Chain A
Amino acid sequence: SQTIHQWPATLVQPVGSPLSLECTVEGTSNPNLYWYRQAAGRGLQLLFYSVGIGQISSEVPQNLSASRPQDRQFILSSKKLLLSDSGFYLCAWSTSGRLGDEQFFGPGTRLTVL
């Protein structure tokens, strides 16, 4: 069966510090991968998605970046965090090549920028 992991589960970082969040998927190959951010009490904002290794699409301008160095690994990064980067970051995957399939979410990383 497929599983999706995210780490760390929680993170407290000072403004201006770098960020690296990691997401890995097991039990499937060539998945579509997604990064979402959820501000407190708000909806899901799509940040990045990837349909293959090295292929990244950005949805909103921001100081975050994403990379997919391996088929089942998706990384969210920042060189300098802002207060507004605080939130609940969710990674998700879906089956590639098929439009209209369930997205499976990871457990999330709660980031607090102070």
Chain B
Amino acid sequence: GENVEQHPSTLSVQEGDSAVIKCTYSDSASNYFPWYKQELGKRPQLIIDIRSNVGEKKDQRIAVTLNKTAKHFSLHITETQPEDSAVYFCAASIRSGTYKYIFGTGTRLKVLA
């Protein structure tokens, strides 16, 4: 069935270092891959997304890469700051006419000052 795997489940980095979170998906028809950031007790919010016709997208300190052949995509955060500490979720769209998304299990990122 449809599945999105996300690694690692927890990640600690020193302030200023880079963080990388990786996801793999199973449905080769998936064509949209968003990343959400969820701070403690709050709603998930979109931070960046990528479509299947693009290999890489960057927005300031955040970038996402997509490898369609291998069916995996990654979130890269450079020059991490304490306010980057949160849970990050990847997701993949499922092309079944239902407009639904499958989410990864989340990565808890801690940026140590």
**Chain A interface (Cβ within 8 Å of chain B)?**
32, 34, 42-44, 46, 49, 51, 57, 59, 90, 94, 96, 98-103, 105-108, 110
Q: Say whether B44 contacts A90, CB under 8 Å.
A: yes
Interchain CA distance A99-B46 in the complex, whole Å: 16
The listed residue (B46, B100, B103) touching A49 by CB distance below 8 A is B100
Interchain CA distance A95-B31 in the complex, whole Å: 16
> With a CB–CB cut-off of 8 A, which chain B residues contact A103?
34, 46, 101
**Chain B interface (Cβ within 8 Å of chain A)?**
31-32, 34, 41-46, 49, 51, 89, 93, 95, 98-106
Given known contacts A99-B32, A100-B31, is B51 in contact with A105 (CB within 8 Å)?
A: no
Q: Say whether B106 contacts A101, CB under 8 Å.
A: no
Q: Say whether A106 contacts B43, CB under 8 Å.
A: yes
Query: Could you list 10 examples of A-B contacts with CB < 8 Å?
Result: A32-B99, A42-B106, A43-B89, A46-B103, A99-B32, A99-B95, A102-B46, A103-B46, A107-B43, A110-B41
Interchain CA distance A108-B44 in the complex, whole Å: 10
Q: Say whether A44 contacts B103, CB under 8 Å.
A: yes
